[in-house]
Structure 1
Amino acid sequence: MAPHLKVTYFNMKARAEPIRLALAIGDIPFEDERLTREQFAELKETYPFGQLPILTIDHKTVIAQQHAILRYVGRFAGLYPEDPIEQAKVDQFLGFAEDINFAVGKTLHTTDPTLKKSQREELSSKTLPKLFGYLERSASQTATGYLVGSKLTVADIVLYCFDGWLRMGVLDHVSPTILDGFPTLMKIVENVRGNEKVKAWNEAH
């Protein structure tokens, strides 16, 4: 049985959404704390690394970093494998997701519109296709409809959430449907989207 869990983030999907979805899929009750930017500014220095999301366990233990939290809740939810090799494979995909986030993140704080356009066009035409190509090749080797093994893991949820974030059109000059060009990855995304508990969460939020 899972302890009392509280997920703290902003009132948006982004980095907390894979955590929320993992808990929802696992039928694990949790407190969904959503802060305003002003509240975060007041509380920031009380958090382990001054960042969100965080997970508070039994009102006392605080865990930071999205993927550390995902591994923890994934064990309760049945979304993190017990087999050490499959664990390592999930971990490698989570690590690669951070590489993708880093590539995108470099373009988020550029204020010069001409430079940002150039950065985003390179991201869209070269960087992301190359990175997604690596993922496509790896996922195609098993072709189970999931990134690791033959059932849903937190790695698949991260991919699904990233695709959903792109489809919101948040990155100027990057096609929101860029993942459509990678059929194996899109099959995984559709498998997550078709999960009944994911549907229920999306309808409620």
Structure 2
Amino acid sequence: METQEEMHKYTLYYFPVRGRGEPIRLLFHLDNQPFADERISLEQWPSYKSSMPLGQIPVLEVDGVKLAQSPAILRFLGHQQRRAGANAIECAKLDMIAEVVQEFSNTEGAGKFGRVLLGMITADKNQYYKEHVVPDLEKYAPIIEKFLVENGNNGLFIGDRETWVDVFSAEVFSKFIEYGSPDALDAYPHIRAQIQRVFNHPNIKRYIASRPVTPF
């Protein structure tokens, strides 16, 4: 967590859904880090787009400087809030795992599930889940499970303190239980334990209890 001397002014720009912005929100709430949560409607988005570094969101503004790409934002906050590795090797291992989570988030199946739920892709939700999401889960979930097993039974990738990658992974995979099928991760007890640990952290639990209900 930042000291008083290191405090920055943060503004997060994202749509009023969980999507790719929610892991960032969760990481802020994990340490009660103050930030402005600027939720932009689709109608408002055209007036914001040209001011964003890559013409897309999420974007985190830090003391007037705008940063794009959710993994880069999460990694930055992880170091700012001391939620990264304890040394260069641990940081590299967390980066490696985060790349797997991000790759899963970008797949043609699971990566587009949110668009189906939001009506941006016309498809039957249940059929799409079975035919396109499940194969991606079966490919990527065992990899994440393996990394968690290597660290024991505490639901974390490294050590005994939640890192930015634990928050990232928990949020990404939890949505397939909530929006896909309750048994989506029954074969992966360590991922379920990670989700439970992250979401039951008092600060995150408090935020989840009051956050708006969104379609994804």
* TM-score category, normalised to shorter length: 0.7 to 0.9
How high is the TM-score relative to the length of structure 1?
0.87
Aligned partner (choices 14, 27, 48) of residue 22 of structure 1: 27
Deviations 1:142-177 (A, max 9, x none): 2242012222111111122123322332xxxx5353
Deviation at 1:111, TM superposition (A): 5.0
- Counterpart of 1:55, as a letter, is L
Aligned partner (choices 126, 131, 146) of residue 137 of structure 1: 146
Deviations 1:111-146 (A, max 9, x none): 5648x8776434344321121011112211222420
Separation in 1, partners of 2:90, 2:204? 23
Separation in 2, partners of 1:167, 1:9? 23
Deviation at 1:51, TM superposition (A): 0.8
Deviations 1:42-64 (A, max 9, x none): 21122111111001111x21000
Please identify which structure carries the higher helix content: 1
Separation in 2, partners of 1:111, 1:199? 31
- Counterpart of 2:155, as a letter, is G
Aligned residues: 199
Q: Which residue in 1 is equivalent to 2:14?
A: 9
**Is this contact kept in 2: 1:81–1:87, CA < 8 A?**
yes
Q: Unaligned 5+ residue runs, structure 2? A: 1-5, 212-216
1:127 matched to 2:136? The reply is yes
Deviation at 1:101, TM superposition (A): 0.9
Residues 142-161 of structure 1: matches in 2 within 5 Å?
A: 142-143=151-152, 144-161=154-171
- Counterpart of 1:203, as a letter, is A
Q: After the TM superposition, list the runs of 4 or more consecutive aligned residues in structure 1 that deviate by more than 6 angstroms.
A: none
**Is this contact kept in 1: 2:105–2:172, CA < 8 A?**
no
Percent identity of paired positions between Structure 1 and Structure 2: 26
Paired residue secondary structure (2:44): helix
- Counterpart of 2:163, as a letter, is T
Deviation at 1:203, TM superposition (A): 1.9
Separation in 2, partners of 1:21, 1:127? 24
**Is this contact kept in 1: 2:177–2:185, CA < 8 A?**
no
Q: Which residue in 2 is equivalent to 1:180?
A: 186
- Counterpart of 2:54, as a letter, is F
Separation in 2, partners of 1:76, 1:185? 26
How high is the TM-score relative to the length of structure 2?
0.82
- Counterpart of 2:199, as a letter, is R
Q: Which residue in 2 is equivalent to 1:33?
A: 38
**Is this contact kept in 2: 1:26–1:76, CA < 8 A?**
no
Deviation at 1:14, TM superposition (A): 1.6
1:68 matched to 2:72? The reply is yes
**Is this contact kept in 2: 1:26–1:77, CA < 8 A?**
yes
**Root-mean-square deviation (Å):** 2.2
